[in-house]
Structure 1
Amino acid sequence: MSLAAVQLAYGGPLLFPAMVWALWRSWRAGRDDDRFAFLALAGGPTLVLVAGASLFGVDRPNWPAPAYLAGVLALGAFWPRRVAPAAFASSLALSLAVSALITVIPRLPPALQWSELYGWREVTQEIVRRARFLGDPGHVVLLGRRYNEASYFGYYTRDQVPVTTGHLSALSFWAPRHRFAGWQGIAAIDAASDAGELAPACARLIEQPPYVVRFEGGGGRRFRLFHCIGYRGTPPPP
């Protein structure tokens, strides 16, 4: 249920069901047209596999993304021409409204804030500042528990500071962890999160004073910060 709810939020309450419908239509049309068969096979199995994995507690809302590529193409092929102008106008208005909402949320009263979306830029600046005082310039890496957290650090530092994760992740493909073995690290996680995934990655993991990001409308978000001594990395490939 949570996976379906997030897909409706990501894709939109109308767009996601429409893409699923378009993939189903592609499967039927694919009996006579290989182009539609390709779209159905490119998108359908991905949705089925991700939905099946979610039944076992593996809930990753972004995993169906490859199916969206096929779904959008299929939807474009089956889209009723008569509703295209209205659909374009409504999607443009919705996109503008969402963009405006994103800028307004931090200024709302605390009870109305979606605070988990905010604070990563500020805490990234803070851990970079603290990294300068670790006494080992050029050998400090920013650590995220998972790919998503590490990607925030990479984005907000414009990849000027090495970033990796506490365990094997997609980030390891372009930032192999063995490169940073023996380095010091500094990590930031949400105050409600468990640091258990970081501990095995370090010879010692020392919690630092927390950091609180204050919002203009009041309230804020608290982060836990950690100093990783002796990042273990992984053995280099043979």
Structure 2
Amino acid sequence: MLRGRRKTGRRSDVQIHPQDTSDQLSAHPRAGGNAPPGASEPRPIFPVDMLPQGFVWRLVVFLGALTAVRLATVYFAGTDFFFDEAQYWAWSRDLDWGYYSKPPVIAWLIRAASEICGNGEACIRAISPVMHTATSVIVFLLTRKLFDARFGFWAAVVFATLPGISLSSTLISTDVPLLFFWALALLCLVKLLETRAWRWSVALGLTVGVGLLAKYAMVYFFLGLAVYMLLSPRARWLLTDLRGAMVLLLAGALLAPNVIWNLQHGFATFSHTADNANWSGSLGNPIEALEFFGAQFGVFGPLLFGILIWATWRAVREGWSDPYRLLLCFAVPVILLITVQAFLSRAHANWAAVAYVSASVLVAALMVERSARGWYAASFLIHLLALATISFGTVFAGQISLPGGKDPFARVLGWQAIAKGTEARFADGDFASVMTDRRSLAAELIYYLRDTDIPIARWRNEGPPSDHFEMTRPITAQTPEPVLLVTRRERIGSIGERFDSVTKLGQERFSAGPTDSRELHFYRLEGFRPAD
């Protein structure tokens, strides 16, 4: 696999520390680093003569065209907001240092976008393709630092066209800023290890800190760094140097306001993160682990993930030095950790997304080093096909269905119709407020009824809140009545027991694509009695 001829090269001035050239970060044959076994003289993968001269300009043209396609996709999308997206938008109306299930950066970004181009789905989702393009640029800069601009071009193309990135570019999620700050932190780390300059220590600390405010998964960066220190003596100086302490100090200082917010709100976000891990359930689920691991072939691409597995196996057997060692340390431990998490309980396919920043650099470098033109071309075509399928499906969502009657977009269809139906019921019944008993319904109604003045409350069971809306807008004695209850349940049970008057108004079925639908039930409630 990826066979090639060995190639020796000349000495490089790209080092972990300027005074010591015995363990270099660069592995490009022309740079004289320690390339993986079997590396060969690099040759062009695809003819790029039609692009402008210089790999920077080539990357600008490619990323510009790709970003235009993705922006057009979100502009013409036939999908409604997924309820997580609607929830993030609701958070952005009340800027804070934390929210029930996530730290605050996602809400800040959405608020900034809405101030620029409005509150429509296209404007909010445009954050994703723009930030993924910025992350691709950072991948280019990182790879250029470790190898050269030509390697950087192909690594950036790999990352930008990953199937997971193509899917992520059609919606807004916390992974979008997380990947950006993860890539930037890797670049700052490489600069710090090369120069030991204080400015890169400060930059790394600030980047990691903001990354933690984007998503707590940024903490995996310290896992990668710890494994790298274990395997690379050249990085261990950070353990005893003030520059390493500066990284921790700045990251902690930026995270501190979110910690204080959690203290004030019963550690809501930390508790939710622990609940997601779900270690209180049955431990030992090999099927979950296999499903998660298998899903990575879809997230990273089937050929590229296979190359990553092969590279890990070769590195364990033969040992690779920098920069391949560095790149593996920030990819493989995260994937293994989340696979273990999946075995113990559960894990979503995107939980290891940060691994694919350095993995993109690694597999691209291997393919270019070994002139694996066929592998690169095949993976590139597979990823373009995935991009075209995702873009086409997003634009024509609700108009197509898979064989067997399955609609892959059912979860992001029909929410606007539900909001309009709720608004009509509200107007016809002379209600004073709306209440729901689900986070998803609350989020969608808050977003799609944003241009009305309808108060929307969330039913809260006894005990601590289970989502942000239970925490911030539960029904109380001050909630205006009568209340229009919108629910998926035909029988409302304990909810009705807390009101003096309960009247069933009927039910209505709302389409969620050509084959799916949601049935909602409507009730008129009056005389709310708060629990003791």
TM bin, normalised by shorter chain, reads 0.5 to 0.7
Alpha-carbon distance change, 40 to 132 in structure 1, aligned in 2, over 3 angstroms: farther
2:469 is matched with which residue: 172, 179, 190? 172
Shift of 1:211: 0.6
Under a length normalisation based on structure 2, what TM-score does the superposition of the two structures give?
A: 0.31
Task: Give the structure with the higher percent helix.
Answer: 2
Shift of 1:122: 1.2
Distance in 2 (CA, whole Å) between partners of 1:217 and 1:120 is 14
The 8 Å contact of residues 142 and 185 in structure 1, kept in 2 or not, is answered as yes
- Give the gaps of 5 or more residues in structure 1: 55-60
SS at match of 1:211: strand
Higher relative contact order (CA 8 A, sep 6+): 2
Alpha-carbon distance change, 152 to 75 in structure 1, aligned in 2, over 3 angstroms: farther
What is the match of residue 397 of structure 2? 102
1:211 is matched with which residue: 508, 517, 520? 508
The 8 Å contact of residues 398 and 514 in structure 2, kept in 1 or not, is answered as no
SS at match of 1:79: helix
2:445 counterpart of 1:150 = no
- For the pair shown, the structure with the greater C-alpha radius of gyration is 2
2:373 counterpart of 1:76 = no
Shift of 1:112: 2.8
2:476 is matched with which residue: 164, 178, 181? 181
What is the match of residue 89 of structure 1? 384
2:405 counterpart of 1:120 = no
SS at match of 1:129: helix
Alpha-carbon distance change, 135 to 126 in structure 1, aligned in 2, over 3 angstroms: same
How large is the RMSD of aligned CA atoms in angstroms? 4.9
| More displaced 10-residue stretch of structure 1: 123-132 or 82-91 | 82-91
- Give the gaps of 5 or more residues in structure 2: 1-286, 368-372
Task: Give the structure with the higher percent strand.
Answer: 1
Alpha-carbon distance change, 165 to 214 in structure 1, aligned in 2, over 3 angstroms: same
Aligned pair count reads 215
Distance in 2 (CA, whole Å) between partners of 1:166 and 1:203 is 11
Shift of 1:102: 1.8
Shift of 1:187: 1.7
